[in-house]
Structure 1
Amino acid sequence: MSKGYKITKIVILSIVVLLAVLAVTLFTASGAQKKAKYLDPWKRDYAEQFEDPRLQLIAHGLLAANSHNLQPWKIQLDRQNPLAFYLYTDNERLALESDPLARQTLVSQGTFLEYMRVAGEQLGYPPEIVLFPDGEYDEQHLSESMERKPVAKITLSKANLQSNPLYEFMFLPDTNRMAYQPDEITPAQIRKLNKTNTDQELILSILNDKADIEKFGAYGVEGTDIETGLRRMNDESARIFRSNEYQKNKYRFGFSFEGQGTTGLKKHLLQGLITIIPFLNNEEASTKLAVQAAQTAADHTPAYALILSKDNSRTSQVKAGMLYSRLILTAHEEGLVMQPLSQVLEEYPEMREPYSRIHREYAAGGETIQFLIRLGRSTQETPLSMRRNAVDLISE
């Protein structure tokens, strides 16, 4: 055997060993060996551990879509009535930069309530929901008002089990940011989706005209470009980005690589790299990827939906969120997926011009657009996102 061959073999073996050590290091940093406790609430039997029917419904409610995955919900159990409880906005879970008026946060209260309604009907505890039983917030002292005034009082009644066809779709991911198939949404599907709106104060429109699709796609890209170009917005997102399994199990809310559809080996490699070398996840690279993703989404969307309210009261915001939950569950029933495009509807100075423009075009009667939503058939499965434990929502 030649000396050169031996050296080559040693070099190859060294490279193999080095790559193996690197892979082990990255996967360890990612926490690949850790159990994903943050996904436990998605299990179909998760709520069964609770004897209290209120906690069973809360366990289902926390699966709902919510702004920035902050899960801004706080529950107070009624000590006198074992079937009553109150939903509050958690004023410590506000996205003050991107959602300075807390509109998206209030919409998220509605998504939670509607998931509880569906679960209550399925489990034999249909809820009576009274919005703002102590009146709406004092907008001049908003955070303090959130602390004092409940968004809703929920009172359960015992009834026979009543199967709700939407129940099984609660356990699917609520947001799909990937490219959608080019298949058009059928007239029958549009009619079924439109039936989810039963509130005269809200307007639901499904739009699949080519001109509208191009406009909404452009709004999605423009809004993303503006938001990701602002340092304070990127800093806000970075504070709730969970870069590995250790962080996801600890915090159980916020953003992660799964939000962009990253799974399996690629996810752990990225998590390991970012954990070991944090500056790889720099602002410029993240901005570029976000805008590229928005453009890809715009180029692969066959329809959009708008949810508008006739006023912009806190009650209307909550009701819009409830409608959104009905819409996404019905869309799932029809084999469709959705993604809300929140950026262009955000209320801070840099977004004022496109915000005003989209309202002039699509809310000429003075309505407020609460949701702009991509709608279509998926081309790629979306992973489930982090969720807290149901008991962590309980406040004294």
Structure 2
Amino acid sequence: MALITRHKAVIAVLGILVIGIFSLVMADGAFLPKKYLEPWSGTYHTQFEDPRVQVLAHGMLSPNSHNLQSWKVVLEGNDSFLLYVDSDRLSPKADPPGRQVTISQGTFLEYVRIAGEELGYETGMQLFPEGEYGPDGTAANLGSKPVARVALQKLRENETGAGTENSPLYDAMFVPDTYRVPYKETKLQAEDVEKLEALSTENVTIVIFQAPEDLEKLGDIAFRAAEVEAGLDRIQVEGSELFRPNEWQKNEFRYGFTMEGQGLSPLKVHVLQGLVSLFPSMNSPEASRDSFLSQTESAVENTPAYALIITKGNSRTAQVESGILYSRFLLTAADMGYAMQPLSQATEEYPEMAGLYKEIHEEYAGENETIQMLIRVGVPEKEVPPTMRLDVMDIIEV
């Protein structure tokens, strides 16, 4: 009788486990195809006949603020298009003037340019063909004028890369753009630093720091800035609204934040997604703040180099040009084996950040210069998965 009772107990426990696992899988949607990763396929662009759509499909992979992918495209004629900020996807609490979203237009344009070159097209780009939009970050202002007009022109047969291997920058576009994991202690090689800093242009400069005093100073600024942001409910709420807790929502929205960004293993991601979906209170503001600060602390303690992207002035054109340079910097560094993660908080422009914004500028920027980006750089201790991306047709107005 006791043996039968024990068998029944074991069967009951197994039944509970099966039900629990089934509930987690259903809540997470682990069985769903990951449509939000389709743009990362090297053949994704080939389904489209229009070469403009083909290059735009590559632009979808570019790094962008808060993974909002705030791009909107209007096709013109047969060979050109206009790029606008999509004012329906903004982060006004963390990015009040829309500076970061403007930088994200530049990152997109550089990916488009590289893809066009690889596919045999010259991409003529005119920034702000109708003049710059204003300095405020309202949706009405940011969406009021095109950021760029891009025209494709087919190169002559002997000018194309047809029949040759892909360029290193093109291949690097298919590598995840942000690594939030710890980096090895390995310093950047001197010749690599020289090559990366040489990407600087007349108006936009890349400066790389590896000296211990700079690592300590910039890391300290980055962490204190994260503490400021973590303490602001309005920004935490804005971020939580962009969090996609399971595969269902990832496929539905295809932009925002996910657990993969925290450097977790795929199995742990699916387990936690299922748990958070079943018990939303697990993703409380307090838990999110603690996770954010812990992640930032680990990042600054495991960073062998920082980089600053600095512009002359802070015009909208300068912001777009800094995004263009950041993409070039990121892809060139990726080809060298380095990874990056922007630590944007200290460069953000809301009242509570004013002190740290002033501090980093007084220490590292000259007169009339603006630090557009603070970035950690190094060799990652592990690989990370790619992040969600919209379908290219989602950004094209028809």
Task: Please state which band the TM-score falls in when normalised by the shorter chain.
Answer: over 0.9
Q: Which residue of 326, 329, 352 maps to 2:328?
A: 326
> Which range moves more in the overlay, 104-113 or 220-229?
220-229
Q: Tell me the residue number matched to 1:181.
A: 184
Please state how far the C-alpha of 1:13 moved relative to its aligned partner. 3.1
1:58–1:390 contact (8 Å) kept in structure 2: yes
**Aligned residue for 2:340?**
338
* AA partner of residue 379 (structure 1): E
Q: Could you tell me how far 1:10 is from its partner in structure 2?
A: 3.0
In the alignment, which residue of structure 2 is the partner of 1:226? 228
Match of 1:385 in 2: 387
**What secondary structure sits across from 1:373 in the alignment?**
strand
Deviation of 1:196 after TM superposition, in Å, equals: 2.0
Q: Partner amino acid for 1:39?
A: L
Q: Tell me the residue number matched to 2:18.
A: 20
Q: CA RMSD in A?
A: 1.3
Q: Secondary structure at the residue paired with 2:257?
A: coil
Q: Which residue of the partner structure matches residue 107 of structure 2?
A: 111
Q: Distance in 2 between matches of 1:207 and 1:18?
A: 55
What does 1:42-121 align with in structure 2 at a 5 Å threshold?
42-79=40-77, 82-121=78-117
Contact 2:63-2:178 at 8 Å conserved across structures: yes
Q: Structure 2, unaligned stretches of length 5 or more?
A: none
In structure 2, distance between residues paired with 1:270 and 1:376 = 28
Q: Are 1:154 and 2:150 matched, yes or no?
A: yes
The residue type equivalent to 1:372 in the other structure is L
CA–CA separation in structure 1 for the residues paired with 2:15 and 2:347? 52
C-alpha separation between the residues in 2 aligned to 1:12 and 1:234?
44
Distance 1:240 1:141 in 2: 19
Question: 3-state DSSP class of the match of 1:353?
Answer: helix
Q: Residues 132 and 275 from structure 1, CA distance in 2 versus in 1: closer, same or farther, beyond 3 angstroms?
A: same
Conservation of the 8 A alpha-carbon contact between 2:246 and 2:277: yes
Q: Is the 8 A contact 1:263 1:383 kept in 2?
A: no
Secondary structure of the residue aligned to 2:309 is strand
Structure-2 separation of matches of 1:23 and 1:39? 25
The normalised TM-score by structure 1 is 0.96
**Pair 1:191-2:194 in alignment:** yes
Local SS of the residue matching 2:177: coil
Is residue 167 of structure 2 the alignment partner of residue 169 of structure 1? no
Return the TM-score normalized by structure 2.
0.95
Q: Is the 8 A contact 2:228 2:353 kept in 1?
A: yes
Contact 1:121 1:164 in 2 (8 A): no
Q: Is the 8 A contact 2:121 2:152 kept in 1?
A: yes
1:269 match:
271
- Say whether the 8 Å CA contact 1:75–1:395 is kept in structure 2: yes
Deviation at 1:285, TM superposition (A): 1.2
Deviation at 1:193, TM superposition (A): 1.1
C-alpha distance after superposition, 1:186-217 (max 9, x if no partner): 101111211222x2111110100001111111
Aligned length: 391
- Is 1:136 paired with 2:132? yes
Task: Determine if contact 2:97/2:138 at 8 Å carries over to the other structure.
Answer: no
Provide the residue aligned with 1:301 in structure 2.
303
Q: Report percent identity of matched pairs.
A: 44
1:363 aligns with 2:365: yes
Instruction: Select the residue among 231, 235, 239 that pairs with 1:237.
Output: 239
Contact preservation (8 Å) 2:68, 2:90: yes
- Cα distance in 2 for partners of 1:377, 1:333 equals 12
CA distance in 2, matches of 1:246, 1:181: 35
**Alpha-carbon displacement from aligned partner over 1:79-103 (angstroms, at most 9, x marks no partner):** 3xx1111101111111000000000
290, 312, 315: which is aligned to 1:313?
Answer: 315
Give the ranges of 4+ consecutive aligned residues of structure 1 lying more than 4 Å apart after TM superposition: none
